[in-house]
Amino acid sequence: MKMRDNGWDNLFQKTSEFCIKHDIRIPDMESVLQGRTKRRGPVTHLHHFKVDIFYTVIDTQLQELNDCFSEVSSNLLECMTCLNPCNSFSAFDKNKLCESAHYYPSDFDWNDFAMLEYQLNTYIVDVQLNPDFLNLQGIADLAKRMVEKKKHIVYPLLYLLIKLALTLPVATAFVERAFSAMKYIKTALRNRIGDEWLNDCLVPYFEKDIFDSIDNEAIMMEFQKIRPRRMTL
């Protein structure tokens, strides 16, 4: 929503700079757009580009994201963006990061929640004043720098959050592919398939790139070694 509310001016400035650089004519934003006969009243270029195009695209993308992710997943993604180190950790939000820990009850207990809040208070002051943490480009860079400077030992709970954030895109995509593939794998003919067998069928289906790189002969040999068999495959 920040992009929708505050992103137009920055986008318009960059677009104008691009047009000037490549000698592209920029229309007067306050002038009336011609050929919009279906409108009851005159529409300016500014209204057309900002409302009809910019807002519409943002709203469409937001709706697609809401359709792809549950409310819990969306909230978790929003919380994890607070770890972004860009612009001197401007996205940092202690409350949201503490909230994100509650999504991982197997990794954080009630004592950890209080300790995490304490670590976050110290951490943000530490990294914002530390030149070693300037100009980081993402959470992956932050994780590497923390290990290099031994900060993962000083802030173990925060570092755990960072590791969870790094695995989140992979885990989310993995789950989405799994549920999408289930409608092809678990058909009416296989509606009594066991969970273990279903899992064995799903893994090769949505990890095709990995399994395509494995030679069939190697698979048969591995299967042959599992236990003695009467026949050689």
The token pair that represents 15 in the structure block: 């677009």
In a domain? residue 175: no
Q: What is the pLDDT along the chain (233 residues), one digit of tens a residue?
A: 667 788 899 999 999 999 999 999 998 988 888 765 565 677 888 988 998 899 898 888 777 766 655 555 667 777 788 888 988 898 899 998 998 888 888 899 989 999 999 999 999 999 999 999 988 888 889 999 999 999 999 999 999 999 888 887 554 455 455 555 555 555 554 555 566 666 676 677 667 778 788 888 888 888 888 877 666 66
In a domain? residue 198: yes
Is residue 161 domain-shared with residue 110, that is, in the same domain? yes
Predicted local distance difference test score (pLDDT) of residue 135: 86
In this structure, the number of other CB atoms found within 10 A of the CB of residue 136 comes to 20
**Residues in contact with 10: Cβ distance below 8 Å, sequence separation at least 6, in sequence order:** none
In a domain? residue 205: yes
| Domain span at 152 | 88-170
The token pair that represents 77 in the structure block: 């993604």
Predicted local distance difference test score (pLDDT) of residue 202: 67
Predicted local distance difference test score (pLDDT) of residue 160: 93
Buried b (16+ CB within 10 A) or exposed e, 3-42: eeeeebeeebeeeeeeeeeeeeeeeeeeeebeeeeeeeee
Is residue 195 domain-shared with residue 226, that is, in the same domain? yes
Residue 193 is which amino acid?
I
Predicted local distance difference test score (pLDDT) of residue 65: 64
From the centroid of its chain, how far is CA 87?
Answer: 19
54 DSSP assignment: I
In a domain? residue 74: no
In a domain? residue 180: no
Is residue 104 domain-shared with residue 155, that is, in the same domain? yes
The token pair that represents 85 in the structure block: 């180190």
Is residue 93 domain-shared with residue 133, that is, in the same domain? yes
In a domain? residue 82: no
Is residue 163 domain-shared with residue 205, that is, in the same domain? no
In a domain? residue 110: yes
**Continuous H helices in the chain:** 2-6, 8-21, 45-47, 56-68, 71-80, 86-89, 94-101, 110-129, 139-148, 151-154, 156-185, 195-206, 208-212, 216-226
**Residues in contact with 130: Cβ distance below 8 Å, sequence separation at least 6, in sequence order:** 149
Give just the sign of the alpha carbon dihedral 192, 187, 205, 232: positive
pTM over 0.85: no
**Residues in contact with 205: Cβ distance below 8 Å, sequence separation at least 6, in sequence order:** 181, 184, 185
Is residue 38 domain-shared with residue 108, that is, in the same domain? no
Is residue 57 domain-shared with residue 93, that is, in the same domain? no
Is residue 148 domain-shared with residue 196, that is, in the same domain? no
**Residues in contact with 145: Cβ distance below 8 Å, sequence separation at least 6, in sequence order:** 132, 133, 136, 151
The number of domains in the chain is: 3
Residue 104 is which amino acid?
Y
- Answer yes or no: are the C-beta atoms of 202 and 181 closer than 8 Å: yes
In a domain? residue 139: yes
Is residue 39 domain-shared with residue 100, that is, in the same domain? no
